[in-house]
Amino acid sequence: MKKLKALVAGCLAAALLVGCGGGGDTASSNVFVMAKENDVSTLDLKLASTGMDFEVLNAYCEGLVALDKDSKVIPALAESYTISDDQTVYTFKLRDAKWTNGDPVTANDFVYSWQRTITDGEDYKYFFTDDMACIKNGNEVYAGEMDVSELGIKAVDDKTLEITLSKPTPYFLSLMAFPTAFPLNQKFVEEKGKDFATSADTVLACGPYVLTNYVKGSTVEFKKNDTYWDAENVHLDGMKMNVVSDASTASMDFESGNCDFTKINSSLVDKYKDDERYSSYLEGYLWFLQFNIANNKTDTPLANANIRKAISLSIDREDLCNNVLKDGSISARGFVPAKFAFGPDEKDYAETADNLISNDAAEAKKYWEAGLKELGVTSLELNLLHETSDPAKPAAEFIQGQLEKNLPGLKVTMTGVEKKVRTTKQQDGDFDITLTRWGPDYADPTTYLTLLTTGHFFNYGNWSNSEYDAKMKEVGSSTDVNARWQTCKDAEKLLLADGNAPIAPLFQTGGASLISKQITGLESHTFGTPYIYKNVVKK
Amino acid sequence: MDKSTLKYIGKRLLISVVTLLVIILVLFAMLKMMPGSPFNPEKLSPDMIAQLQAKYGLDKPVLEQFVTYLKGMLTGDFGISLSIAKNIPVMDLVGPRIGISFGIGIAAALFGALIGVVLGVTAALKRNTIWDSLSTIIAVIGVSIPSFVFALLLLLVFGLKIKIFPILFNINDPIRSSILPTIALSVGAIANVARFTRSEMIEVMKSDYILLAEAKGLDRGTLIRKHALRNTLVPVITVLAPIIINLMTGSMVIEQICSIPGLGSLLVRGIQANDYYVVMAVAFLYSLLYVVMMLVVDVLYGIIDPRIRVGKGD
């Protein structure tokens, strides 16, 4: 027994000794340390699809242009560009930038990268088609009907890149800051073969930072890239992203001073909302209810416009954002989120468009009763499909409460599933109402508005309106930027007008975060790369 | 080793292999039946999803996929990740995590067993005293409070307030960063082992041979060490086997909370992302461990105690 006791005491003493030795890594040096909820899913830009992938790519690589803190286009690897009179040919003049292996960044690096992605890419393979960047022959090459060499991108010489579009595309330039459009050093990629972009030493940098360490599921580390063309304006010595999936742990890590920046979930907002380190970044995701109007070509009760209108009217979105989500989310004014698309007048689309969303419980009840009468029933049971993560779960529970309170005779049953199951169920038409979202691919209202055109894959509720389709077609073919902008607004109005509204827009997500007072210059964006770190300064 | 022992071992081995095969089949079928897809359909059109399915051979009949997978497995190819670490071989993801999870698990099991036995023996020998009550209280707390609550508490106290241990797992300092999760993980084991040891010890102390030993005038220390403890520990080892495996395969929750890049957190991410082959590989690894452990226990039993073989007619 004595021996046993001695052993235990020994073990404890040893544990304590180990515990006291060595200091933890601190966030005190000039390294920006972040806690990230998700890991990087790939370092290869042809496969990249998540916000985290884009953030990492954007830290060590760069595009022809970049976005400033207000999401306006600024020069990056291209020092200047010209646009043809018909707005379809863009000629970029590249600056003298270098890859970290010493090679210059050339026009061919872009051609190679684009051709590689459109032939063998995944989620963003459609980047080059008319659904996104509108590159000439993009649709045909994507579909395999044309050789990849026909894609509208050409290296005129080492420093001149010519890109031809299929039609004038006002948002094209901002898309050149999207990581899928970044260049790749062909020699390096081919040399690494299968191993390319699987670790920190199998990628090449041409951006503000160099990837120095990548431990899957744990950490991503960078140091400043001294050969970067704008190195004098990069102020950090390095960055470190720790993957921390638990929000409580992340906030403890932040409190301990080992972390400069972390997102928090709504359960922690109350604790921090008056803290000077609390901030909320507006994100591009717009959450909305999508109604299943026709299932297998038969109308559902939700085909009744009064029923849909009643549902939309009965939800108090302000209450939802301020008292349930509490993470800086704002209520939707239409189907296009705020602060992401700026028009020819340089003004925010959402701010200048009409507010198309209202909340009025008494009105809702009137529409509801009229709807029930038209359907010839006195009660309805509807299923609400939602995912079980934040913010969908609390939002869905709130919506269930609002609907059942304000619409007598309505019973809302809930189907809570994982995100990937929700999207699959949506595709299969297996829902009455789904709480879904869309994150913008590019800075233009059409990234949202085209979703509800007839036959679009995202139009899960099978809504169809020829007038709306015609309006969207007009937007697509318009060459007058001012008229086009107005047509977008008209189309949105038509979409959400009485008798239409196949959706009920709810809220735009806010990213509740904790950021150290030492940090300035962190730039957030509502589309493409969520956070850009080039201008971060740590005092 | 005599012939019957060999026969017994051979039979156990065969059963293990069959069990594993069945497990792989069931796992594979269940994964295929799981709703959702490894690709992110939120942004993908149905024809793009179909292209991706074809690219990775997921459009083929399930049986064909199963045979292909099994063939790959026999050559050590466990497929690639489709979602959480695109195109990276699953073994490259699992490999580095095995050491981390196993290390923490074994440490937690040993620590848990040690403290558990000490608590249990103390409680049994000082029955109905304050020590007994104290040990029972600790055991009850250990069983009833989930380990992740302990983990958070430990992180709060020793990571944030007293700052002697890191809050996040640091891959460059694995020993120091493993201590808090190890303690949190071992709490359940401590409680289970303590309860079991206590009741076993009480039984043993009542038995005739202890009485005989006492009557022969053996001093109490030797009596407990040489006779009581040894006989108590045999059944304790039986309950320890599943505890060890449980802990070795990593606690999914503890790994999430302490940000440990181990097998448990990989499995959780894999399941959330419908990353078939990642889930398959980790789940298979778990099954393999269980089966091997059970095989070892069975064989050891057979060797130690021939009655088991005889009793079962083997």
Those residues of chain A that have pLDDT short of 70 are 1-28
Per-residue pLDDT of chain B (314 residues; tens, 9 = 90+): 677 778 888 888 898 899 998 999 998 888 888 877 888 767 788 888 888 888 888 888 888 998 999 899 888 889 999 988 888 999 999 999 988 888 898 899 889 989 999 999 889 888 888 988 988 888 888 888 888 888 999 999 999 998 899 999 988 888 899 999 999 999 888 988 898 889 888 888 888 888 888 888 888 888 888 788 878 887 777 777 778 777 776 678 889 899 999 998 899 889 888 898 999 999 998 888 888 888 887 777 776 666 555 444 44
Chain B residue with minimum CA distance to A125: B48
Please give the pLDDT value at position B146: 84
Coil/strand/helix, residue A508: strand
Please give the pLDDT value at position A296: 73
Chain B residue with minimum CA distance to A422: B36
Q: Do A8 and B118 touch (CB under 8 A)?
A: yes
Task: Calculate how close chain A gets to B21, using CA atoms only, in Å.
Answer: 28
Q: Do A24 and B170 touch (CB under 8 A)?
A: yes
| CA distances (Å), origin A167, targets A85, A152, B11, B69 | 12, 12, 73, 46
Please give the pLDDT value at position A103: 95
High-pLDDT (> 90) share of chain A, %: 69
Distance CA A259, CA A32 (A): 8
Please give the pLDDT value at position A402: 94
A490 part of contact set with chain B, CB < 8 Å:
no
Task: From B231, B242, B243, B239, select the one nearest B124 (Cα to Cα).
Answer: B231
Please give the pLDDT value at position B307: 59
Q: Do A41 and B83 touch (CB under 8 A)?
A: yes
Please give the pLDDT value at position B277: 92
Tell which CATH architecture fits domain B96-275.
Answer: Orthogonal Bundle (1.10)
Q: Where are the alpha helices (DSSP H) in A349-391?
A: 349-352, 361-375
Chain A residue with minimum CA distance to B262: A217
Give residues with Cβ within 8 angstroms of A237, minimum separation 6.
A29, A30, A31, A223, A224
- A198: which chain B residues are within 8 Å (Cβ-Cβ)? 87-88, 92
- B121: which chain A residues are within 8 Å (Cβ-Cβ)? 1
Six-digit token string for A464: 């169809």
Number of H helices, E strands in chain B: 14, 0
Give residues with Cβ within 8 angstroms of A110, minimum separation 6.
A64, A153, A155, A161, A181, A183
Q: Do B155 and A249 touch (CB under 8 A)?
A: yes
Complex ipTM, two decimals? Answer: 0.85
Query: Which of B84, B114, B156 lies nearest to residue A39, judging by beta carbons?
Result: B84
| CA distances (Å), origin A42, targets A48, B170, B283 | 6, 22, 23
Please give the pLDDT value at position B31: 86
pLDDT tens string A488-506: 999 999 999 877 899 999 9
Give residues with Cβ within 8 angstroms of B243, minimum separation 6.
B109, B112, B113, B188, B189, B192, B193
Which A residues in the span 418-477 are in contact with B, Cβ-Cβ below 8 Å? Answer: 418-421, 423-425, 427, 437-438, 441, 457
Please give the pLDDT value at position A67: 92
- Predicted TM-score (pTM) of the model is 0.87
Average pLDDT across chain A, whole number = 90
- A11: which chain B residues are within 8 Å (Cβ-Cβ)? 111, 114
Please give the pLDDT value at position A20: 39
Query: Which of B87, B96, B171 lies nearest to residue A47, judging by beta carbons?
Result: B87
Residue A89: strand pairing partners: A164
Percent of chain A as helix, strand, coil, to the nearest 5: 35, 25, 40
Q: Cα angle vertex A66, ends A212, A180, to 5°?
A: 70
Domain boundaries, chain B: 96-275
Q: Do B114 and A8 touch (CB under 8 A)?
A: yes
Task: Calculate how close chain B gets to A451, using CA atoms only, in Å.
Answer: 11
Residue A428: strand pairing partners: none
Task: From A253, A121, A263, A103, select the one nearest A186 (Cα to Cα).
Answer: A103
Which A residues in the span 234-273 are in contact with B, Cβ-Cβ below 8 Å? Answer: 242-246, 248-249, 252-253, 255-256, 258
A20 part of contact set with chain B, CB < 8 Å:
yes
- B159: which chain A residues are within 8 Å (Cβ-Cβ)? 252, 256
Please give the pLDDT value at position B250: 60
Task: Calculate how close chain B gets to A369, using CA atoms only, in Å.
Answer: 35
Report all structural domains of chain A as residue ranges with CATH numbers, in order of start. 26-36+208-278+512-538 (3.40.190.10), 51-199 (3.90.76.10), 282-510 (3.10.105.10)
CB contact at 8 A, B191 and B143: yes
Please give the pLDDT value at position B44: 81
A290, amino acid identity: Q
Distance CA A490, CA A478 (A): 14
